[in-house]
Structure 1
Amino acid sequence: MSSFDIPEIVRQLRVVRDQWREKQNRTDTEFREFPSRDAVTGAVEALKGVLFPLRLGPPELRHASEDFYVGHTLDAALHVLQAQARIELHYRQRGGAVSESDIDAQALNAIHAFAHSLPQLRQLLDTDVLAAFQGDPAARSVDEVVLSYPGVLALIHHRLAHTLYRLQLPLLARIVSELAHSQTGIDIHPGAQIGPGCFIDHGTGVVIGETAQIGSNVRIYQAVTLGAKRFPKDAQGHLQKGWARHPIVQDDVVIYAGATILGRVTIGRGAVIGGNVWITDDVPAGANVTQARLQRDTDAAPSVAVQAPADEARATA
């Protein structure tokens, strides 16, 4: 016999749940309301093996059976995702006039498109892996990069999540991205657009917001924030959602550790952003932004110096 008053605790928890559901107008509990985080986790782990079978697949896998493993694993993972997509679509359209057959068709079409995106997604990830290998003198092989670099793991998750996000499955996408966040400390919203050849070095504390746009061959170091500067509210006092509020980072930019870039600003092609700077204005292409000096007042942010690219400096001399 339990030494705890289990029946009474269970009763009280049921009362609290019922109160919440009533306030949220969620009284229809015939179907599962939300996707399963565990199911999505299993599907993502399987898909990582599908994308990189001999490196992220099972230890007993050999080249001769690679295609069989990829086909079998992919089929199982896609069926799991289809079931979870159906749950998300049912949740979002509850109370509407959409039929169960329509929801089934929407889920099938979305995961069908997701499946056919995987070869291109693998090619995109190969550019990220090469960027990490070529950009880090400590990397001994591309295999080491795939197996152990947190920035690569975060980008694998992000590219899967971004595909789901574009297919109108934002809840599944967010679960996929948050799995990487919890493992790596790298927080990339699935809506962020990231071009090929991205290298997130070290990575801990990196935050990339929903509407950020990152070009090709961009290098980002730890503790970098690409965030929003302000959060306007509507007439009812609720935060407005969906508007472009995060930075645009053009091709070949390097952003060093601790830099904070806020708002819908543009970091021009080839710019170098030094460590621990605070940026809320556009940076021209080829510029070099560094801290000009340190403030003695600890409440004040350090000022920054923007060194114009050579061509621009000559033109204004």
Structure 2
Amino acid sequence: MKREVPPQSQLVAANDSGAPTARWQLDRIVAELRVSREETHSIRRDGEARRAPSREALEAILNGLTEALFPRHYGQFDLDGENIDYFVGSTLSVALDSLFEQIHRGALFIGDELLPGFRREDAIELTRSFASELPSVRGILISDLRAAFVGDPAARNFPEILIGYPGMTAIIHHRLAHILHRQGARLVARLMAEIAHARTGIDIHPGASIGSGFFIDHGTGVVIGETAVIGDNVRIYQAVTLGARHFPTDDEGNVVKGDARHPIVEDDVVIYAGATILGRITIGRGSTIGGNVWLTRDVPPNSVVTQATARNKVGTGIDPSETPR
């Protein structure tokens, strides 16, 4: 949208003598911002300016993809056997046409080293590959839907979960964003994840690997980091963090990007509200992690970890909050 420039009369005011004077001292501020932008604090890449992906377009794409995956729930309720395939095809066509454009923009905008020399033809091929995975993604989402129904006694039916549970919305968005992240369209994937975060209060990095039958109950405040690995049939509650304990640095003190630094959660684990699990540790299969636990050590399979008993730490040299029981 073109931004209108206010008339000069709105940028000046009369002083006591009636002579116009700069109301906001814009000449000085604009000059100082130019110096910051071009010299002292420049973050611009060399070369031609590129257009960033559109968050509004990505929101529409996510809506369209969700409608195509669940046409009678998110699309049109009155679809029947004669027109449902037409609706799905038409909706997908619009969404994928827009997605390929946003993928192309994203690769050019950041000069992604994962996609060197990226062309429009490459964006089309990446989008085609993404689209080919949608049927299998829908199958995994059905397993997530069933896990929510089984895991929440308040859930009365599938439609309630599908259109009403923030955890379901978050995992739909994540599974779509994760494909793009894996294929190299990382800026677009990250923006999709942030759209889900804004909509649901659930922050899942698109790089996180999550197995089938995943259920986030309530969900507000959940954080799952980039290199987290979650197995099948895992259930977590609100305010759970799967985060990094520390950030490794190179010889020059720069943070090393991409290292595995988030937890591994094996199959059939339940993590209750407020638990904080940090570092590249493993939560063994079938374990239960109690609410508000702070955990930085491996947990054997089939363990139950609860809050440690409060005690005076003076003279003991033990931090009971880091001792699984």
Q: TM-score, normalised by structure 1?
A: 0.86
Matches within 5 A, 1:80-99: 80-93=98-111
1:156 alignment partner in structure 2: 172
Give the whole-Å Cα distance in 2 for the aligned partners of 1:170 and 1:189: 10
1:35 alignment partner in structure 2: 53
Conservation of the 8 A alpha-carbon contact between 2:107 and 2:187: no
1:259–1:25 CA distance, 2 compared to 1 (3 A)? closer
Matches within 5 A, 1:97-108: 103-108=119-124
Conservation of the 8 A alpha-carbon contact between 1:277 and 1:302: no
2:256 alignment partner in structure 1: 240
Conservation of the 8 A alpha-carbon contact between 1:262 and 1:280: yes
Matches within 5 A, 1:103-114: 103-114=119-130
Conservation of the 8 A alpha-carbon contact between 1:295 and 1:301: no
Q: Is the counterpart of residue 145 in structure 1 residue 161 in structure 2? A: yes
Corresponding letter in the other structure for 1:45: N
Q: Which moved more, 1:270-279 or 1:6-15?
A: 6-15
Q: Is the counterpart of residue 212 in structure 1 residue 228 in structure 2? A: yes
Instruction: State the aligned residue count.
Output: 301
Q: Indicate the RMSD between aligned Cα atoms, in angstroms.
A: 2.7
Richer in helix (by share): 1
Q: TM-score, normalised by structure 2?
A: 0.84
- Structure 1: give runs of 5+ residues left out of the alignment: 308-317
Please list the CA deviations of residues 57-78 of structure 1 after superposition, one character each: whole Å capped at 9, or x if unmatched: 1456555421111101101111
Conservation of the 8 A alpha-carbon contact between 1:290 and 1:305: no
Give the whole-Å Cα distance in 1 for the aligned partners of 2:228 and 2:197: 17
Give the whole-Å Cα distance in 2 for the aligned partners of 1:42 and 1:305: 47
- Structure 2: give runs of 5+ residues left out of the alignment: 1-6, 13-22
List structure 1 segments (4+ residues) > 6 angstroms apart after TM superposition: none
Please list the CA deviations of residues 256-308 of structure 1 after superposition, one character each: whole Å capped at 9, or x if unmatched: 001110000000000000111111000000000011313578xx97636645x
Conservation of the 8 A alpha-carbon contact between 1:181 and 1:188: yes
Conservation of the 8 A alpha-carbon contact between 1:192 and 1:212: yes
2:37 alignment partner in structure 1: 20
Give the whole-Å Cα distance in 2 for the aligned partners of 1:65 and 1:8: 61
Conservation of the 8 A alpha-carbon contact between 1:50 and 1:57: yes
Conservation of the 8 A alpha-carbon contact between 1:54 and 1:62: no
Please list the CA deviations of residues 98-128 of structure 1 after superposition, one character each: whole Å capped at 9, or x if unmatched: 65xx512221111010000000000000000
Secondary structure class of the residue paired with 1:291 = coil
Percentage of pairs with the same residue: 50
Matches within 5 A, 1:277-316: 277-295=293-311, 303=321, 306-307=324-325
Secondary structure class of the residue paired with 2:220 = coil
Secondary structure class of the residue paired with 1:261 = strand
Give the whole-Å Cα distance in 2 for the aligned partners of 1:279 and 1:93: 38
